[in-house]
């Protein structure tokens, strides 16, 4: 059975990486907190029952399942394909490394991958900071079109950020 200080050490070691990864993928503190909690509490339950030697592999194994499940339930997607825990751990590492430096830049680059109509509106809104009425005027569309396209665009953008490996 691990001691309290052992457990604290394990937590401190993995918490930041796992939380940030979930945040980068969901852009929501609430969801990142939910997923991180789910990961650590599931792991705690396991630790309670048996002494796990290779805790890193195990905790990333749980995080992998939780993240895959999240994508599947939230976006009905199974885009990210990981063959094993090591691969997922590397992926977490890579996402953290890339997005810690300038999250804004990385996130906005996904706009290029949106369908054209959404790209147009989202680019004007997020990068040029244009108002809804300005966009409607520039695109010669009504407000309803701009609002709907913005809604769809933001949704697609979040999905891209979450699901793009």
Per CB under 8 A, contacts with another protein among 4-63 are 4, 6-13, 15-16, 19-20, 23-24, 27-34, 36-38, 40-48, 50-54, 56-58, 61-62
The helix-helix angle for 132-139 and 143-163 (nearest 10°) equals 100
Contact status, residue 25 vs residue 67, Cβ threshold 8 Å? yes
Q: Least CB distance from residue 140 to another protein, whole Å?
A: 19
Beta carbons of 59 and 35 less than 8 angstroms apart: no
Distance CA 69, CA 80 (A): 11
CB of 129 to another protein, least distance (A): 9
Closest CA to 140 of 154, 120, 160: 120
137 binds another protein (CB under 8 A): no
Q: Does 97 engage in binding with another protein (CB under 8 A)?
A: yes
The minimum distance between CB 12 and another protein, in angstroms, equals 8
Which residue's structure tokens are 């953290």? 96
The site that binds another protein (CB under 8 A) totals a number of residues, namely 99
How far apart are the C-alpha atoms of 100 and 74, rounded to whole Å? 24
Contact 148, 141 (CB under 8 A): no
Nearer to another protein, 115 or 142 (CB): 115
Q: How far is the CB of 84 from another protein (least distance, A)?
A: 7
What part of residues 101-130 is at the interface with another protein (CB under 8 A)?
101-104, 106-110, 112-115, 125-126
Does 92 sit near another protein (CB under 8 A)? Answer: no
Residue 112: enclosing H or E segment and its boundaries? none
Identified binder of another protein from the candidate list 123, 138, 141, 152, rule CB under 8 A? 152
């Amino acid at each position: 059975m691990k001691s309290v200080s052992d457990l604290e050490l394990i937590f401190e070691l993995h918490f930041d990486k796992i939380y940030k990864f979930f945040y980068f993928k969901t852009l929501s503190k609430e969801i990142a907190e939910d997923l991180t909690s789910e990961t650590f509490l599931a792991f705690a339950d396991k630790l309670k029952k048996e002494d796990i030697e290779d805790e890193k592999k195990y905790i990333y194994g749980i995080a992998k399942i939780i993240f895959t499940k999240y994508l599947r339930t939230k976006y009905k997607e199974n885009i990210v394909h990981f063959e094993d825990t090591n691969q997922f751990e590397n992926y977490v590492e890579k996402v953290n490394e890339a997005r810690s430096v300038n999250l804004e830049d990385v996130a906005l680059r996904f706009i290029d991958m949106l369908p054209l109509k959404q790209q147009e509106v989202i680019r004007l809104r997020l990068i040029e900071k244009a108002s809804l009425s300005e966009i409607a005027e520039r695109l010669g569309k009504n407000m309803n079109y701009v609002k709907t396209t913005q809604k769809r665009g933001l949704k697609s953008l979040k999905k891209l950020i979450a699901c793009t490996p």
